[in-house]
C-alpha cells in the first residue's frame, strides 16, 4: 500500500531552485507538477535561448521505459517510425497512432542501450502501451518521477557545458546521447530540445538535481544563463515549427467528438511513417489514407502584416477552409507565422490563403483579412542547430 | 363540491410542478393536487428534528435541466445549486481512494492505486463523455414513435439517426455496449484496481434493483454522468437549503403564472367519461373537473391505483403490471452534534466535501445485491453518504451537521413479509455500524436519525416500492419504451389524460425534463403556443 499524501500539487526535483529564480510567481499545473510560466520576463527568457542559454525544467514530462529482449520489436509495432534504424545512443522524434491511424501523441524515443529505450510523451498512455505489449517480452514502466530533466538551450549552451567540465560535448551530434560522471554518479546528455536552436537536454537522478542546477548556473554565469518558463518556450517552439500536442492536434484518445483527431499525414508528419515495416499500430488505416487521400493538411503560413493570426479562420477566396491552431510574431525570424489545419486540397506550398484576424487596441476591435502563403517549414532554422562540433558562439 | 380547471396535475413533485408551470405560463388555469401536507414529492426538505433540515429523499442535484432552471427563473425564485467536488471510497485495509475534483490530483491518486489505471482513466472519461453527448440532446425532446409515419416522428427519428451516425463506427459500437452491459464488465475493461472500480460502479446501481454485474447497469452510470452544473458535465451539487428548495422555486414560478396548489388532497380516482378524462375524485369525496388530467405518479400507481381498469385498454393494464419498478434502496438522515472523523482522512481534506463510500470491491457490491435477492437488506451495503452542511450552512445550526446516507440494497419486503419495526432497527444498525467502522466518533455524535425503508418511502412519497427513478432505467424501459411502447409521448390511453412523471422519458434523477416535455405535448394537443424551451446545444 503506497501511503496517501495530502499534497495537492507536486514539486519537481529542481523546485527549490525554480522557486528562488521565479521573481514574478507565475506558476501553472503541468501534469500535476508546479511549473513556471515565466520567471522574470517572457521576452528576456525567450531571448536568453536565442542569444545565450535558457534552462527549462522538463521533469514533469511523461517518461516511459522499455526493457527486454523484445523492446525494439515492440516499439516497432507501437511507433510509426522504423526503430531498427535508431542506433544505440541516438534519439528520434516520432508519433504513435491508434488502429484508426489517428495520432495518439508525439514524442521522442531514446535508444539508451541494448534492449533499453525511453519514450518521452505529452499524454499518459501506459494503458495503451500495455495493450500493445501483449505477446512481447518487454517490461514497461512509468519513470516520470524517477528522472530529473532540464532543457539547456541556446547558442552558448555548449560553452556552458564545457565550463562544467563536459569535455568533448561539442562533438555530440544532433539527436546523439552521451554521458558524463557527475558527483559520483552520472548525467546523461542528449542533443535534443524543443527550441530549434543549439541545445541539450540533461537527465539525472532526482537526488543530484539541485547540485546539477547550481553547477550549471555557476558555469553559465558569464554566458547569460537564465531559467525560462513555458510562455517563452511556446514562442520558441512556434518560431521553429514544432507542433504541440493538445494545441495543434487533439490526442486521439482524448478526442470526444468523432472526427476531431488527425492522422500523421494530416499533421505534416507523413515522413515519420515507415510503411516498410510489415506491422505497426494504424498501418492499415494509414495505407488506406495514403491511397484515398487525407481529409486535412497541416500548413505553415507566412501571414502578411504583423498581427498574430491567433484563432483565425482561414479562407480560400470566400470559402472557409480551415483554422489556425498556433500563431505568433517571431522576434528573431522577424516573421508572422501561423500553423493551420486546412482542407487537404489547400495545403500545397505556395497556396495563397486569407486569415481572418481580430485584434484589439484599447478596447477597439479590428477585423483584418490578411493574405497568407503556405510555406515549406519553420522560419527559424539556423545552421548552429546542426553544426558539429558545436561552436562556442 | 365541484370546480372546473383547465388542467389538473396529480402530485406536487418537481415534474408535476414543472408541468404545471409551463401549462400555466401558456395561460391555462392549472391546479396541482398533493396528497401530503407539503409539496415536493421526493424533492423535499423537512425539519424532522428541531433546527435541522433533511433532504430526506433525493439529496443531490445535477440532472435538473439548465434550460428549465433559466426559463422558469428558478434562481429568482430562490434556487441556488452549489457544486461539490470529490469523494472517497474507504478500503478495508485502512487506505482509501480519493476521487479528487482537481484533474491532475485525481490522476495522481488513481496512479497511487495503479499507474496503468491513471492512463486508462483518461480513456474512460473520454468514452463516457462521448456517450453522454449522444444522450443529452434528447433529454428535452419527446421520443419518436419508431413505427409512426407522422412527419414529426419521422423528423425526430431522423435526428436520432443522425446523432447515432455522428458517433462513428467505434462510438456506435460503444453505445450498444454502454446500453446493454453491466457496469462491472464495463469497468473491468478499463481498470485493474478494485477500489477504483468499486468507486465508479456505485453510479451504475444507485436506485436500481440490479447488481454491478447485471446487464444494463452501465447505462445507469451514464444517467448519473449526463447532468451538469453550469456546463461542467458530470458534476453534482447541493441545492442550497436542501432539495426542497427545487420544489419551492418551481412552486413559486408556477404561482407567478397564476397556478394553484392544494395540499392534503389525495386523488382517489381519475374520472373518465365516454373515453375522456374529466377530472379527479379526491379521497375526501370532492370532485374537481378539468379536461386535462396529468398524472405525476409512477405508471404503476397511475394505471393500477387511481384509474379504473375498465377505463383502460387491457394492454395498458398488463404493461403497468409488468413495469419494473422494484424497491432497492433505503435512506438514513442523521442530525450530528459535530463533524465526524474518518480514519486516515484529515478533516481539512477537500475530499471530505464529497460523497463517501465503504465498499472497496465489485464482488463486495455484488454480495450486497445477493442479500437483496434473498429478500433482506444488505449486510455490508453500498452507501452513498454526504454531509451537505460542510457546504450548505442552512441545513443545521453552525458547527452541527446533517448527514444523508443513501443505502443500497434494501428490499421492498423482508423475507416475503412487510418491514417490521425490528427489521427497520436491524437495517438502521447495519448502516450505522458500517459507518462507525470507518469513523470511531460517529455514533457518539448522533442526535437524531430518520431511517426510511422502501416501504416508508412508498407510504409517504407514493413511489411504488420506494423506487427512486419511478421505474428502472434499463434499456427495455427507456426512450420510446418508457413507460411502455406506444405510450412514450406522454399521452395516456384516455383522451385528455397525460403522464409527466419520472416514469416517462427521460427518467428520474430530478431532471424536470419529463414534466416539461409532457407540457409541450399537451399544449400541442390544445393547439396553444409552446412555452417549453428547447434543449441547449452541446457544441
Q: Answer yes or no: do A130 and B108 touch at CB < 8 A.
A: no
Same-domain pairing of A217 and A339:
no
**Overall average pLDDT of the B176-189 stretch:** 95
Q: Answer yes or no: do A31 and B349 touch at CB < 8 A.
A: no
Of the residues B89, B99, B116, B135, the best mutation for testing chain A's interface (the one with the most A CB atoms within 10 Å of its CB) is B116
Report the alpha-carbon distance of residue A262 to residue A251 in Å, rounded: 8
Chain A CB within 8 Å of residue B346 CB: yes
Residue A377's domain spans which residues? Answer: 295-386
Q: Answer yes or no: do B105 and A128 touch at CB < 8 A.
A: no
Report the alpha-carbon distance of residue A14 to residue A122 in Å, rounded: 20
> What contacts A323, CB < 8 A, 6 or more positions away?
A311, A312, A313, A314, A340, A341
What is the number of structural domains in chain B?
1
Map grid coordinates 450548505 to a residue. Answer: B392
Of B111-115, B156-160, B228-232, which gets the smallest average pLDDT?
A: B228-232
Q: Answer yes or no: do A8 and B105 touch at CB < 8 A.
A: yes
User: In terms of Cα–Cα distance, which of A383, A24, A26, A54 is closest to A236?
Assistant: A54
> In tens digits, what is the pLDDT along chain A, a chain of 393 residues?
777 777 889 999 999 999 999 999 999 999 999 999 999 999 999 999 999 999 999 999 999 999 999 999 999 999 999 999 999 999 999 999 999 999 999 999 999 999 999 999 999 999 999 999 999 999 999 999 999 999 999 999 999 999 999 999 999 999 999 999 999 999 999 999 999 999 999 999 999 999 999 999 999 999 999 999 999 999 999 999 999 999 999 999 999 999 999 999 999 999 999 999 999 999 999 999 999 999 999 999 999 999 999 999 999 999 999 999 999 999 999 999 999 999 999 999 999 999 999 999 999 999 999 999 999 987 899 999 999 999 987
What is the number of structural domains in chain A?
2
Lookup: cell for A157: 549552451
pLDDT digits (tens, 9 = 90+) for B493-521: 999 999 999 999 999 999 999 999 999 99
Same-domain pairing of A206 and A309:
no
Asked whether residue B1 carries a pLDDT value surpassing 60, the answer given is: no
Q: A123 phi and psi, to 5 degrees?
A: -105, 155
* Spatial contact of B404 and B54, defined as CB atoms under 8 Å apart: yes
Asked whether residue B190 carries a pLDDT value surpassing 70, the answer given is: yes
Same-domain pairing of A335 and A214:
no
**Overall average pLDDT of the B396-420 stretch:** 97
Residues in A closer than 8 angstroms to B109, CB to CB, are: 4
Q: Is B491 within a domain? A: yes
Q: Is B337 within a domain? A: no
What is the ipTM score, two decimals?
A: 0.91
Residues in A closer than 8 angstroms to B166, CB to CB, are: 258
* Spatial contact of A373 and A302, defined as CB atoms under 8 Å apart: yes
* Number of inter-chain CB pairs under 8 A, A vs B: 67
Q: Answer yes or no: do A29 and B344 touch at CB < 8 A.
A: no
**Overall average pLDDT of the B57-77 stretch:** 96
Q: How far is residue A16 from each of residues A35, A38, A145, A207, B396, measured CA to CA in Å?
A: 12, 16, 16, 13, 45
Q: Is A276 within a domain? A: no
Asked whether residue B77 carries a pLDDT value surpassing 80, the answer given is: yes
**Overall average pLDDT of the B65-84 stretch:** 96
Domain boundary among A172, A201, A228: A228
pLDDT digits (tens, 9 = 90+) for B229-241: 888 888 899 999 9
Same-domain pairing of A357 and A213:
no
Same-domain pairing of A160 and A26:
yes
Lookup: cell for A382: 539556423
* Spatial contact of A27 and A36, defined as CB atoms under 8 Å apart: yes
DSSP A308-342: --TT-EEEETTEEEEEEEEEEEETTTTEEEEEEEE
- Residue of chain A whose Cα is closest to the Cα of B122: A254
Report the alpha-carbon distance of residue B20 to residue B27 in Å, rounded: 11
Asked whether residue B144 carries a pLDDT value surpassing 60, the answer given is: yes
Q: Is A258 within a domain? A: no
Q: Answer yes or no: do A130 and B133 touch at CB < 8 A.
A: no
How many CB atoms within 10 Å of residue B326? 18
CATH number at residue A151: 3.30.1360.120
Q: Is B166 within a domain? A: no
Asked whether residue B539 carries a pLDDT value surpassing 80, the answer given is: no
- The minimum CA-CA distance between A230 and chain B, rounded to whole Å, is 18
Of the residues A35, A124, A295, the best mutation for testing chain B's interface (the one with the most B CB atoms within 10 Å of its CB) is A124
Q: Answer yes or no: do A4 and B98 touch at CB < 8 A.
A: yes
Q: Is A376 within a domain? A: yes
Residue B498's domain spans which residues? Answer: 2-43+60-81+241-324+466-525
- Residue of chain A whose Cα is closest to the Cα of B91: A1
Instruction: Among B95, B126, B349, select the one facing A1 at the smallest CB separation.
Output: B95
Domain boundary among A179, A205, A228: A228
- Residue of chain B whose Cα is closest to the Cα of A60: B104
Q: Answer yes or no: do A4 and B115 touch at CB < 8 A.
A: no
DSSP B42-109: TS--EEEETTEEE--S---BS-S-HHHHHHTTTTTTT--EEEE--EEEE-TTS-EEE--SSHHHHHHH
Q: Answer yes or no: do B126 and A253 touch at CB < 8 A.
A: yes
CATH number at residue B516: 3.50.50.60
pLDDT recorded at residue B2: 58
CA atoms A175, A176, A177, A181: torsion sign = negative
Q: Is A236 within a domain? A: no
Q: Is B293 within a domain? A: yes
- Residue of chain A whose Cα is closest to the Cα of B108: A32
Q: What is the pTM of this model?
A: 0.94
Q: Answer yes or no: do B107 and A130 touch at CB < 8 A.
A: no
CATH number at residue A348: 2.40.30.110
* Spatial contact of B297 and B377, defined as CB atoms under 8 Å apart: no
Q: Answer yes or no: do B104 and A256 touch at CB < 8 A.
A: no
What does the CA dihedral B481, B484, B488, B494 come to, rounded to 10 degrees? Answer: 170
Look at phi and psi of residue B525 and say left if phi exceeds 0, alpha if psi is from -120 to 50, else beta: alpha
Report the alpha-carbon distance of residue B228 to residue B66 in Å, rounded: 8
Q: Is A161 within a domain? A: yes
Would strands B87-90 and B355-357 be described as parallel, antiparallel, or unpaired? Answer: parallel
Amino acid at each position: 500500500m503506497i501511503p496517501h499524501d495530502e499534497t495537492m500539487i507536486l514539486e519537481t526535483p529542481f523546485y527549490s531552485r525554480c522557486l528562488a529564480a521565479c521573481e514574478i510567481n507565475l506558476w501553472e499545473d503541468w501534469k500535476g507538477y508546479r511549473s513556471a510560466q515565466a520567471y522574470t520576463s517572457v521576452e528576456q527568457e525567450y531571448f536568453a535561448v536565442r542569444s545565450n542559454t535558457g534552462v527549462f525544467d522538463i521533469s514533469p514530462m511523461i517518461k516511459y521505459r522499455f526493457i527486454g529482449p523484445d523492446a525494439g520489436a515492440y516499439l516497432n509495432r507501437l511507433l510509426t517510425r522504423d526503430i531498427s534504424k535508431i542506433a544505440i545512443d541516438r534519439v528520434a522524434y516520432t508519433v504513435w497512432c491508434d488502429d484508426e491511424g489517428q495520432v495518439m501523441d508525439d514524442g521522442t524515443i531514446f535508444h539508451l542501450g541494448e534492449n533499453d529505450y525511453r519514450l518521452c510523451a505529452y499524454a499518459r498512455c501506459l494503458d495503451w502501451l500495455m495493450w500493445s505489449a501483449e505477446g512481447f517480452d518487454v517490461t514497461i514502466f512509468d519513470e516520470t518521477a524517477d528522472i530529473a530533466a532540464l532543457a539547456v538551450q541556446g547558442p552558448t549552451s555548449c560553452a556552458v557545458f564545457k565550463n562544467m567540465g563536459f569535455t568533448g560535448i561539442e562533438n555530440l551530434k544532433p539527436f546523439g546521447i552521451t554521458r558524463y560522471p557527475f558527483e559520483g554518479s552520472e548525467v546523461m546528455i542528449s542533443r535534443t530540445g524543443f527550441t530549434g536552436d543549439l541545445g541539450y537536454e540533461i537527465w539525472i537522478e532526482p537526488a543530484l538535481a539541485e547540485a546539477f542546477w547550481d553547477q550549471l548556473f555557476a558555469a553559465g554565469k558569464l554566458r547569460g544563463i537564465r531559467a525560462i518558463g513555458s510562455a517563452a518556450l511556446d514562442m520558441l517552439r512556434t518560431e521553429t515549427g514544432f507542433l504541440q500536442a493538445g494545441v495543434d492536434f487533439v490526442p486521439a484518445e482524448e478526442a470526444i467528438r468523432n472526427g476531431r483527431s488527425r492522422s500523421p499525414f494530416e499533421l505534416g508528419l507523413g515522413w515519420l511513417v515507415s510503411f516498410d515495416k510489415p506491422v505497426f499500430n494504424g498501418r492499415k488505416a494509414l495505407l488506406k489514407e495514403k491511397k484515398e487521400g487525407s481529409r486535412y493538411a497541416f500548413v505553415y503560413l507566412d501571414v502578411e502584416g504583423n498581427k498574430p493570426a491567433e484563432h483565425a479562420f482561414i479562407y480560400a477566396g470566400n470559402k472557409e477552409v480551415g483554422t489556425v491552431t498556433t500563431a505568433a510574431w517571431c522576434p528573431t525570424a522577424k516573421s508572422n507565422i501561423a500553423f493551420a489545419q486546412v482542407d487537404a486540397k489547400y495545403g500545397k506550398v505556395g497556396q495563397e490563403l486569407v486569415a481572418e484576424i481580430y485584434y484589439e487596441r484599447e478596447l477597439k476591435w479590428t477585423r483584418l483579412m490578411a493574405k497568407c502563403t503556405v510555406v515549406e517549414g519553420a522560419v527559424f532554422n539556423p545552421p548552429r542547430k546542426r553544426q558539429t562540433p558545436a561552436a562556442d558562439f | 363540491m365541484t370546480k372546473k380547471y383547465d388542467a389538473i396535475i396529480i402530485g406536487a413533485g418537481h415534474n408535476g410542478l414543472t408541468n404545471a408551470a409551463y401549462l400555466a405560463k401558456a395561460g391555462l388555469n392549472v391546479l396541482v393536487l398533493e396528497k401530503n401536507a407539503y409539496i415536493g414529492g421526493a424533492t423535499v426538505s423537512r425539519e424532522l428534528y428541531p433546527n435541522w433540515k433533511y433532504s430526506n429523499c433525493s439529496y443531490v442535484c445535477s440532472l435538473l435541466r439548465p434550460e428549465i432552471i433559466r426559463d422558469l427563473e428558478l434562481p429568482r425564485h430562490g434556487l441556488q445549486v452549489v457544486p461539490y467536488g470529490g469523494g472517497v471510497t474507504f478500503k478495508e485495509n485502512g487506505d482509501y481512494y480519493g476521487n479528487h475534483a482537481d484533474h491532475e490530483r485525481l490522476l495522481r491518486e488513481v496512479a497511487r492505486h495503479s499507474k496503468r489505471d491513471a492512463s486508462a482513466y483518461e480513456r474512460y472519461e473520454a468514452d463516457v463523455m462521448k456517450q453522454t453527448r449522444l444522450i443529452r440532446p434528447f433529454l428535452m425532446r419527446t421520443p419518436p414513435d419508431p413505427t409512426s409515419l407522422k412527419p414529426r416522428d419521422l423528423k425526430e427519428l431522423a435526428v436520432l439517426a443522425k446523432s447515432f451516425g455522428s458517433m462513428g463506427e467505434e462510438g456506435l459500437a460503444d453505445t450498444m455496449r454502454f446500453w446493454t452491459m453491466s457496469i462491472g464488465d464495463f469497468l473491468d475493461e478499463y481498470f485493474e484496481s478494485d477500489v477504483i472500480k468499486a468507486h465508479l460502479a456505485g453510479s451504475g446501481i444507485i436506485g436500481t434493483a440490479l447488481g454491478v454485474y447485471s446487464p444494463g447497469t452501465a447505462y445507469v452510470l451514464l444517467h448519473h454522468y449526463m447532468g451538469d452544473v453550469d456546463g461542467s458535465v458530470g458534476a453534482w451539487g447541493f441545492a442550497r437549503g436542501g432539495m426542497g428548495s427545487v420544489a419551492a422555486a418551481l412552486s413559486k414560478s408556477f404561482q407567478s403564472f397564476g397556478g394553484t396548489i392544494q395540499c392534503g388532497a389525495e386523488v382517489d380516482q381519475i374520472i373518465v367519461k365516454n373515453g375522456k378524462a374529466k377530472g379527479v375524485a379526491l379521497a375526501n369525496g370532492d370532485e374537481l373537473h378539468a379536461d386535462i388530467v396529468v398524472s405525476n405518479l409512477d405508471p404503476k400507481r397511475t394505471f393500477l391505483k387511481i384509474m379504473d381498469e375498465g377505463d383502460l385498454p387491457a394492454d395498458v393494464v398488463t404493461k403497468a403490471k409488468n413495469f419494473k419498478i422494484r424497491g432497492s434502496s433505503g435512506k438514513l438522515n442523521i442530525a450530528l452534534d459535530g463533524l465526524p472523523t474518518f480514519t486516515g482522512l484529515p478533516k481539512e481534506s477537500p475530499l471530505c466535501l464529497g460523497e463517501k463510500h465503504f465498499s472497496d470491491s465489485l464482488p463486495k457490491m455484488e454480495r450486497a445485491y445477493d442479500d437483496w435477492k434473498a429478500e433482506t437488506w444488505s449486510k455490508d451495503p453500498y452507501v452513498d453518504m454526504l454531509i451537505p452542511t460542510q457546504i450548505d450552512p442552512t441545513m443545521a445550526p453552525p458547527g452541527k451537521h446533517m448527514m444523508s446516507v443513501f443505502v443500497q440494497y434494501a428490499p421492498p419486503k423482508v423475507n416475503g413479509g412487510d418491514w417490521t419495526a425490528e427489521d427497520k432497527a436491524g437495517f438502521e444498525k447495519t448502516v450505522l455500524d458500517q459507518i462507525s467502522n470507518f469513523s470511531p466518533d460517529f455514533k457518539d455524535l448522533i442526535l437524531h436519525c430518520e431511517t426510511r425503508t422502501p416501504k416508508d418511502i412508498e407510504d409517504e412519497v407514493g413511489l411504488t416500492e420506494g423506487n427512486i427513478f419511478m421505474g428502472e432505467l434499463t434499456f427495455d424501459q427507456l426512450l420510446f419504451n418508457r413507460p411502455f411502447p406506444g405510450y412514450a409521448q406522454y399521452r395516456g390511453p384516455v383522451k385528455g389524460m397525460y403522464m409527466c412523471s419520472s416514469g416517462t422519458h427521460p427518467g428520474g434523477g430530478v431532471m424536470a425534463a419529463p414534466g416539461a416535455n409532457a407540457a409541450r405535448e399537451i399544449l400541442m394537443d390544445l393547439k396553444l403556443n409552446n412555452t417549453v424551451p428547447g434543449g441547449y446545444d452541446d457544441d
